């Protein structure tokens, strides 16, 4: 009996686990509920009285040695760094992560900002939720103007008890509202551009969306003329689309400018030869512009006898489509990474 315990003690002394699992097995085998030690304690009753003392001493020794072993190796395994054998060949190149990209609308907006900042324009901002005054009335829209119609404008119903629009707020339909916002706080000379998102109640198609982006620009000072407008826009068109770009202005109408015009550029795709994009005319429209109507200046408490100004507004989607030959503007809001990846590294 004593010999058997001694040989178990020897076994414990000689035990060296290589991995954590082996140590755990050892612990269960000796110290576990149904382990060696438990058996020995159970046999204690059957041991002859005179041998009991020696038996107890040996069993205790066995218990201490087993516990020491477990504690010693538990610490060792805990200290060991994580097993890296599964990582594989560390000399192989790492897995590369694709960098993100700016959205093409952001890229073109930034480019517009840079082009105008080079000739002294700063950047202004205004709210997307607008009141009637800033979006329409101050800009000389007569009360019955069709743009105020529920067809075009997303009105915001502030009073849930009333079924219909109560005439207070709407999502801005154009960035021209920022002209009025800026002039609430600043007086001429003012030379600024206002990029931002606008909303219209339109059916979504390849050429129209219920939200899109515009950049408004305007310059008010003493003696600002239509010639200044034309030269500014020529400079912009050539910086944006290349030095060989031509512009032409066609008479038009906007409530807030007089005279008003629309500007075309020579087709960026066919260079004026005629193609699908320019519908074989050689020209594509990119913006509306004109001399700020004196009534608008007066609405903003600016002396229209002393000051004159020009204004223009363009759609960023349109500029982007021409610059990058995008045929369907819906792709700008689809978040398709295969499309967005084309713009990696551009800012
Ligand atoms: N606000 C006009 C629109 O959304 C664009 C525009 C036209 C802006 C002429 C102007 C301008 O500043 O002078 O269609």
Probe residue for ligand 1, chosen from 195, 211, 256 as the CB with the greatest number of ligand atoms within 8 Å = 256
User: Closest Cα to atom 6, ligand 1: which residue?
Assistant: 313
Tell me how far the alpha carbon of residue 246 lies from the centroid of ligand 1, in angstroms.
21
HEC assignment per residue over 52-111: HHHHHHHHHHHHHHHHHHHHHHHHHHHHCCCCCCCCCCCCCCCCCCCCCCCCHHHHHHHH
The residue with tokens 């770009």 is 245
Cβ atoms 248, 228 nearer than 8 A:
no
Mutation test residue for ligand 1: of 293, 300, 312, the one with most atoms within 8 Å of CB: 312
Q: Report pLDDT for 342.
A: 92
Helix, strand, or coil here: 331?
Answer: helix
* Backbone dihedral angles phi then psi of residue 289, each to the nearest 5 degrees: -160, 180
Cα of 312 to ligand 1 centre, how many Å?
A: 6
**Could you give the angle at the alpha carbon of 105 between the alpha carbons of 201 and 270, nearest 5°?**
95
Give the position, in ligand 1's atom list, of the atom nearest the Cα of 314.
Answer: 5
Looking at residue 166, its pLDDT comes to 54
**pLDDT for residue 81:** 62
**Residue pLDDT, tens place only, 143-187:** 888 777 766 889 887 776 665 555 678 999 999 999 999 999 999
pTM of the model: 0.73
pLDDT of residue 233: 98
Cβ 240 vs Cβ 115: under 8 Å: yes
| Residue nearest atom 13 in ligand 1 by C-alpha distance | 289
Q: How buried is residue 101: exposed, middle or buried, by Cβ count under 10 Å (0-12/13-18/19+)?
A: middle
**Pairing state of beta strands 169-171 and 257-266?**
unpaired
Residues of the chain with pLDDT below 70 are: 80-87, 150-151, 160-167
Q: Which CATH class is domain 104-343?
A: alpha beta
Helix (H, G, I), strand (E, B) or coil at 148: helix
* Strand 122-123 to 190-199 pairing: parallel
Q: Is 193 exposed, middle or buried (0-12, 13-18, 19+ CB in 10 A)?
A: buried
C-alpha 252 – ligand 1 centre gap (Å): 11
What token pair was written down for 121? 């324009």
Q: Which residues line the pocket of ligand 1, CB cutoff 6 A?
A: 174, 176, 216, 254, 257, 288-290, 311-313
Closest CA to 209 of 347, 63, 317: 317
Question: What is the rounded distance in angstroms from the CA atom of residue 233 to the CA atom of residue 71?
Answer: 82
Give the model's pLDDT for residue 167. 62
Strands (E), the chain: 122-123, 129-131, 155-156, 169-171, 190-199, 211-221, 247-254, 257-266, 283-292, 308-315
What the block records as the tokens of 337 is 């990474």
Q: Ligand 1, closest atom to CA 257?
A: 13
Q: Which atom of ligand 1 is nearest to the CA of 310?
A: 13
Ligand 1 centroid to Cα of residue 172, in Å, is: 13
């Amino acid at each position: 009996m004593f010999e058997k315990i001694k040989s178990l003690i020897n076994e414990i002394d000689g035990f060296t686990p290589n991995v954590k699992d082996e140590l755990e097995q050892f612990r269960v085998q000796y110290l576990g509920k149904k382990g060696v030690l438990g058996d020995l304690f159970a046999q204690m009753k059957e041991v002859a009285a005179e041998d009991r003392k020696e038996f107890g001493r040996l069993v205790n020794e066995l218990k201490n040695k087993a516990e020491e072993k477990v504690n010693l190796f538990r610490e060792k395994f805990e200290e060991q760094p994580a097993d890296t054998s599964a990582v594989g060949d560390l000399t192989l190149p790492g897995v590369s992560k694709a960098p993100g990209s700016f959205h093409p609308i952001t890229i073109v907006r930034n480019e517009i900002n840079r082009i105008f900042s080079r000739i002294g324009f700063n950047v202004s901002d205004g709210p997307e939720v607008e009141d009637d005054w800033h979006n329409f009335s101050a800009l000389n829209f007569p009360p019955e103007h069709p743009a105020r119609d529920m067809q075009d404008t997303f009105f915001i119903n502030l009073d849930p008890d009333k079924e219909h629009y109560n005439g207070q707020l709407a999502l801005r339909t154009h960035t021209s509202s920022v002209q009025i916002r800026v002039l609430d706080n600043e007086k001429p000379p003012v030379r600024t551009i206002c990029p931002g998102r606008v909303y219209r109640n339109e059916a979504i198609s390849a050429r129209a969306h219920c939200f899109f982006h515009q950049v408004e620009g305007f310059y008010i000072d003493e003696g600002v003329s239509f010639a200044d407008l034309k030269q500014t826009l020529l400079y912009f068109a050539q910086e944006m689309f290349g030095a060989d770009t031509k512009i032409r202005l066609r008479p038009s109408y906007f409530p807030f400018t007089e005279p008003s015009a629309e500007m075309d550029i020579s087709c960026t795709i066919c260079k004026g030869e005629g193609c699908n994009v320019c519908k074989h005319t050689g020209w594509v429209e990119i913006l509306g512009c004109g001399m700020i109507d004196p009534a608008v200046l007066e609405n903003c408490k600016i002396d229209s006898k002393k000051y004159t100004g020009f204004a223009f507004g363009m759609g960023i989607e349109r500029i982007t489509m021409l610059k990058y030959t995008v045929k369907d503007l819906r792709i700008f809001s689809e978040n398709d990474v295969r499309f967005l990846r084309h713009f990696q590294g551009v800012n």
